[in-house]
Structure 1
Amino acid sequence: MQNLKFKTNKMIPLLFLMLLFSSENYAEEIKLVKRVVDEEGRPIVTDPLAYPRCDEYEYTERCIDLRSIPDIDESEPENKQIVSSKFKKWQIGPYKMHMYSIIDSMNSYSNVTVNSAGKIFAAGGPQLQFLRGEDQADQTWERRFYSRFSDSFRDIKQIDQTLFAVGTSGVIYRSRNFGENWEVFTQIFIDPFSYQDLKQPEIEEKWHQFHEKMDDLKFKYTEAYSIAFDPFSSTQQKNGVVVGYEKILHTSDTGQTWKKLDFSLKDDVLQEATFSEKDHVWAVGTRGTVIKSVDAGQTWTKQTVLNPHAHWLSIDFINPKKGCLSGSGEIWCTENAGVDWQKSKLNLPKTLEMGDRIMRLRWMDTKEAWAVVTTGQILKTVDGGKNWSLFANMNQLDPRFKQVQLWGLFIDRSHKKIYASGGLLVNDDAKKSDKKDVFSDSGIILTWQK
């Protein structure tokens, strides 16, 4: 096979073909770029599972990466451990609830997950931020940043021993060492043809086709809001989906490769996806959108519209038949795998000032489930979703806290423990003056026991 390296006196623009990882025709070239190089371009590590990248020293004129390596050094000062004295822990009221907050961090955590060892992982923004720690006193926490801008992660999930996060512009990040390091998903695009005999209109058309192929794997100028993998599959290679603005990406190899699905979602924003059983995956979003796949996310069908004006934000199932979805101040539940849905009753205080963004909903068991609202409320049901009541209003529990927002929720069913994430304004004792309190914008992690 001819090597891709060549000499030319003319710059040859990139054209239209996307080179897939499994391509037989270009397997040799894939192996060449699937590596980590030093400043001189010499390979220093060979990792067969690493996302392939172009070698800029050899393939500049023929190869381009879907996404570049983040211009962030993990050893920079802001990417550091946070000692317990700076990561404050509060015991909150009668709920045996702990709240962790990085004072004056100017950030918020969009979602949270916990592994079997009790390690907490959260993702948010700005600056594509990760947090890692444990629910213990005098615990050292760690932060990682992968952007210098206002980019945010919107979701974080784990499948087996691998963590994934998605966010601004459809970025997909992966960690294969429990959050110690993260790598951005990329794919290489190569023009294997010469077009020296083509006319200008043909060149422009092929250039356009090339960029369309790249854009298929991005949520251009928008967000990817959710990522989900099939936890019921016994195979090593898992199916999964990423959903967001007008687009669904699908993987059949646990996130090693992704492809855009041909499914009409014009002007729809999918907010969350979840698997209810093997190969069965649901997604919800704007304009009352509820869709379902029975082939692990490869094809989809639209479901009954419960409320055409609803902005659904979350969906979760405790078993193949029983699940609930939430958003727009409403919760609906099904007990027959979505054939019928019933609107739940929210038994809330009349004086409660609660927003309509019921952001996340998760099941503990077939009777108990929890939900968080972006305006700081925590809701609970103990009758399988028929009735919901106010468990806690975070804006009224402690005078030190203002404008609490809750965005993420995770249930550890094995240990009967609940985790939530978000942000708030907290009274910063270090900056407190005699005349007034000073509040700092801080990301938060909440934990409490059933």
Structure 2
Amino acid sequence: MRKGVDPARLAAFEVLKAVRVDDGYTNLLLPAALARHGLTGRDAAFATELASGTIRRQGTYDAVLAACIDRPLRKVEAKVHDALRLGAHQLLAMRVPTHAAIDTTVTLVRQQVNQGAAGFCNAVLRKVATQDLDAWLAQVAPGDLAVAHSHPAWVVDRLRSALGGRADELPDLLAADNDPPRVTLVARPGRATREELPGTPTAYSPYGVVLDGGDPASVPAIAEGRAGVQDEGSQLVALALVAAPVSGRDERWVDLCAGPGGKAALLAASAASRGAAVTGVELHHHRARLVARAAGAGPGLAGVVQADATQAPIADGSADRVLLDAPCTGLGALRRRPEARWRRTAADLGELVALQRALLAEAVRVLRPGGALLYATCSPVLAETAEVVAATLDAHPGLRLDDARAHLPAVPDADGPLPGTVQLWPHRHGTDAMFLALLRRE
């Protein structure tokens, strides 16, 4: 009797297919795949690393596979290509015995494709197994950081530029993008305390912990909406705006582009303690609902408006504090969004930068004189950070750049590309590569 397909590997295979065919997102697809196959504990962790790690490192594995196949990779059937990548990840990056990695992949292909494809996979993976990853890289791409760290070449070039005079850190940054992300929780002030949350306190946010293990949904404060799952970098974005002084009234806060709601929830919890309230603006209906659910009913949330934030239904100069976490390439969160590096192209930048400038101009419009505006992106790319801010300052003579660094004093080595701006990095701070700029209207 032939062996059945291992459920963890089948779950990972299904995730790869959904990412490829349906433009799905790995972090959203995995929970359903794990539940569908009844995977928990170590099996769930194995399937998660197999799917996410394979997608992160597919550029590296494709270079190795191309050296083991006598035809162009584009002519290999897509399902077979997915399976070969899964097998390569087990052989070259996971502690899976060679025979187990090959046999289980061949069984998977036999049952999901056909016997001929299974034989082909067996032959290819046996060639892959003849060398370790370092030896393969020395053979197929010596000195090529893009292949070695599985990033598109244009992304490597943009990250090198973003590092400025510290481009020697580029290999460390690229390696950090491939590290599995830590699950970080946040206690929403006034609703939960950090001591309620299981895990190790975060280095810079006074409200965060790094979860040591287990399901975040099983934490009571998470289940009750008093705490959430949020990268420490995102926590620091909200906290920097909260810490910035404003002159006069401090009651009306606005979160443009508020979905999915993590920062809005942290802002709302902080606003409530000051007698202020946050209005969230979000274009998409389902994301607007997520904002309302995350921020919760209570005095800290004035409401969530479903609207285009480039034409926000908010009066001129009416907001005391404004957060704009702008849509961007997401190249600062490649640890958590493994498919993003393969979906974005250099051509996307022009459209995104135009949108960022329009959104920031709208944020300036609704900000009152003496108030505080925080512009943030989950990208360190200069076109989306320093260049957007500089263009906005040029277009608004009454606008000035303030010192965001002063409001995150515990964070070391985080000077951004413009004076007073903040740039977080995964290889330096263990966070997403968030950019922060604090702006004020005279």
Same fold (TM over 0.5): no
Q: Greater strand share, 1 or 2?
A: 1
TM range (shorter): under 0.3
TM-score (norm 1): 0.26
Q: Greater helix share, 1 or 2?
A: 2
